[in-house]
A and B are shown apart, each in its own frame.
Chain A
């Protein structure tokens, strides 16, 4: 495994984004609505107990993760496309381990997802979200987001190895992403959910990433945040390991 070569996949992604940055903006529309409309309205209603934090501030990390997770989870579509073209065939004949390929592509998906941090901050802060923007808080947020998005990208790669057409992949994607979002602590605390949903949200990786983002940006609690990042990393490493084992299947 070579980290330098894995990071080349990140460079690839950044170069593609530079040539065509539309995704950054189209993906920003939904979160702007969530924060700008849903957030500001619900903040007035004061229907959701958020433990002393104003609602807009509360949902900003949740919406950030929603937007990032969509990008990460959609990454597999690229692999479905690369499988139909010759790119994946070519990549698998390069002197690279399968782990390098999966790790590199997971980080590449995470890099794409990370663009949302900037977008969301630019939207939420002017609207009145009270966030800790100290270097430590921001660094922790980046770390949490990267770790979480890399794991979700690996999960997406895993899905792509089984869903071999774009249509099937898009279908499964839609079936997964929204439930993951609603069954998380993104827009309301877990405590207000019915018990079965609470149980699910406790195994939902989004919950942990959002938790970490709140600990960094809202509660200014670096130690708790680091603990959450460790939990997230375990999930992500497991996903990367699994995707590595099954990568061979995608080209069969």
Chain B
């Protein structure tokens, strides 16, 4: 029943130029009003999925609906219901912020008598009033993102798609972007679907996380539940001097301990780090292992990813075609 979901995808496959399999059978449901993160390393297929859902490109096979409208057969109706901010910058940097809003307002078909009010309201909401009459060329990355959000929100979309909304921004700019998105969502009860490869952001801002790797969904669930998939308890990372073999040997004799990653820094899971750490250290030192640094943390989505794919996010990205450097270039071009 595609009708009852904000977003529904069934077996989406996308093959670019007959060779690159960017999506390899993606099935996904997003409830109305949900805040959904799609995470995964560079090249996972996040952007491709979003571009199909926003009617820019057609899937090679499979179907998708937004608010019950088919993204290929009813593309026009989908377009009237969605807001979208692409990964790369989507404003004309040789126009002012106000002019960008004006041009987009006209392209959206917002009637003349409402245009000015909507633009003023959005400039206010996004804290861009002072900068409105400056050329976008002079804006910071955070301001450009807020301008793009202002443009996307002018028509009060019921479903908002954000592709890497905070990529390349400093923490303060990231926080401001998020506060605006969350406030809009609260006020209008909109569904928000966002791509990110910052796992911490997904954990912090989403209700449900979809984790992708190489065109497939590898995990889905509430961030807390996903983290539990790594196992209950705490993670202890041990940065070791020299060989890990002796350390692993010592650790194998510690009860109620699971080795998550055997590479230095060694990562182990214990039920309660506070209680078990002294025994753990005793076992290591008893075997002549020198520990340089100890870290204790709760499992994160990164750990989930490592567990499910056997790769760190960095390793998965190295396998992708487009590195982070290429993406930064793409972003700079837009700015």
Contact = CB atoms under 8 A, between A and B. Distances in A.
A227 interface: no
Contact of A89 (B17, B82, B90, B109): B90
Given A2-B109, A5-B106, A84 B51 contact: no
Interface string B103-123: 110111100000000000000
B94 interface: yes
Nearest to A78: B92
A105 B232 CA distance: 57
A84 to B, nearest CB: 5
A167 interface: no
B107 A93 contact: no
A86 B106 contact: no
Interface string B81-105: 0101111111110110001000110
How big is the B interface, by class?
35 or more
Contact of A94 (B57, B79, B94): B79
B166 interface: no
B94 A87 contact: no
A8 B86 CA distance: 21
A84 B88 contact: yes
B56 interface: yes
Contacts of B240: none
B330 interface: yes
B18 to A, nearest CB: 11
A42 interface: no
A85 B107 contact: no
Contact of B103 (A4, A8, A84): A8
Secondary structure call for the B interface? mixed
Interface string A5-38: 1001001100110011000000000000000000
B95 A15 contact: yes
A91 B107 contact: yes
A81 B80 CA distance: 26
B221 interface: no
A107 B87 CA distance: 29
Contacts of A81: 333
A125 interface: no
A95 B334 CA distance: 23
B92 A93 contact: no
A90 B90 contact: yes
A87 B84 CA distance: 11
Interface in A167-189: none
A97 B333 CA distance: 27
A78 to B, nearest CB: 10
A92 interface: yes
Given A15-B99, A90-B84, A95 B108 contact: yes
Contacts of B334: 84-87
B95 A86 contact: no
Given A84-B88, A85-B90, A252-B16, A11 B56 contact: no
B107 A11 contact: no
B92 A16 contact: yes
Nearest to A90: B90
Given A11-B106, A94-B107, A19 B95 contact: yes
B55 A92 contact: yes
Contact of A85 (B55, B76, B333): B333
A158 to B, nearest CB: 19
Listed from nearest, the 6 A-B pairs whose CB atoms lie closest are: A86-B86, A86-B90, A85-B334, A86-B88, A90-B90, A8-B106
Interface of B: 16-17, 51, 54-58, 76, 79-80, 82, 84-92, 94-95, 99, 103-104, 106-109, 135, 151, 330, 333-334
16 contacts: A5-B107, A8-B106, A11-B103, A15-B99, A16-B94, A85-B334, A86-B86, A89-B51, A89-B54, A90-B151, A92-B55, A95-B80, A96-B79, A248-B58, A251-B56, A252-B57
